[in-house]
Amino acid sequence: MSKGLAVKILKITLPIVLGVFLIWYSLSQLSFADIIQYAKNADYKYILLGVFFGLLSHLSRAYRWLFMLEPLGYKIKLGNSIMAVFATYLINYTIPRAGEVARATILTNYENVPFEKGFGTIVAERIADMIVMLGIIAITLFLQFDFIYSFLIDKFDFTKIILAGLILLVLGLFFILFIKRSQSKIALKIKGFVSGLIEGALSIFKMKKKWAFICHTLFIWTMYVLMFYVTTLAFPDLNTMPFGAVLIGFILASFSIAATNGGIGSYPEAIVIAFSLFNLPVDPSRAFGWIMWSSQTILVFVFGGISLLYLPFFNRNK
């Protein structure tokens, strides 16, 4: 077996194995019957409102994609963009990042957009999303500075924190200087990646409809946060949580989606870790994680499944 094939197999199997393990662990801490009971006691108007916000974010993402393709000379149908986006989310539950490839392929098949160009717009889109995510993290650190500072002081020795920070700063500076001067394959890849990030971010401001793109990007992430927040209101045990817990829970939950296929298993456990920092009850937190993840997953499966089935009929002339 070649090294490349082994790496590909690991990339596919490790998230699945981790997801299965986390499902087992999560359900060993809170039974499926208990989750069902929490679901029965939840206020469904907030859960449905969260699903609605999630739907709006997906539709906005599909509409935003048009702004990126237009400068390349392609004016695609909004229906194809919407169905491609939902298909992306659905397929990512099978093989991580396979959805992005499928999304670009759908454009190639039905809109005659070259694969590399369609995929390039998706990469640039992810860069924009990453910048907003970093902004949310920065805002969270600013708003919750006292809490994070107190937490670190309580858990760790202050002098060790300062020393560790200085060591990381020095190592970071040495690493930057090494990468800047080195011509090794790894260094060139890192420089290429960073250069691509900067180029992709700057390309946004070269669009004809750049402000519409930026507004849709902010709208998408606002819907994500609102989706998360309003769903917490469905659970009486979590109604008193501070907004800082919402932000930290949202951040950890967002990263958990990249850890396993669609966040399966990892999503509720990320919620438990975040909420436990604020001394929120563990069982309602874990139940919230499962119900939050399940409601958004059902949305993706329904609309993603319909999209995959209807795409050929929508484009029957082609």
Name 151's Cβ contacts closer than 8 Å, sequence gap at least 6.
Answer: 277
Lowest mean pLDDT among 154-158, 240-244, 276-280: 154-158
What is the model's pLDDT at position 199? 59
Question: Is residue 3 very low, low, confident or very high in pLDDT (cuts 50, 70, 90)?
Answer: low
Instruction: Indicate the pLDDT class of residue 198, thresholds 50, 70 and 90.
Output: low
Q: Which range among 17-21, 35-39, 141-145, 280-284 shows the weakest confidence by mean pLDDT? A: 141-145
Higher pLDDT, 95 or 204: 95
Indicate whether 72 pLDDT > 80. Answer: no
pLDDT tens profile 222-255: 999 999 999 999 998 887 788 888 999 999 999 8
Report residue 269's pLDDT band, with 50, 70 and 90 as the boundaries.
Answer: very high
The two structure tokens encoding residue 299: 């949305």
Would you state the structure tokens that stand for residue 261, as one six-digit string?
A: 């296929």
- Which pLDDT does position 87 carry in this prediction? 92
- 73 Rama sector, left if φ>0, alpha if ψ -120 to 50, beta otherwise: left
- How much is the average pLDDT of 281-300? 94
Ramachandran assignment for 207, one of left (phi > 0), alpha (psi -120 to 50 degrees), beta (any other): beta
95: DSSP letter: S
d(CA 119, CA 116): 5
Cα distances (angstroms) measured from residue 191 to each of 151, 180, 239: 35, 8, 46
Q: What is the pLDDT of residue 293?
A: 95
pLDDT of residue 173: 81
**At residue 299, does pLDDT exceed 90?**
yes
Q: What is the pLDDT of residues 4-50, one digit of tens each?
A: 666 677 777 787 888 888 889 898 898 889 999 999 999 999 999 99
| Token code pair at residue 142 | 């600013």
pLDDT category, 307, cuts 50, 70, 90?
Answer: very high
Average pLDDT, rounded, for the chain:
84
Q: Nearest-CA neighbor of 79 among 297, 300, 312?
A: 312
What per-residue confidence (pLDDT) applies to 205?
A: 66
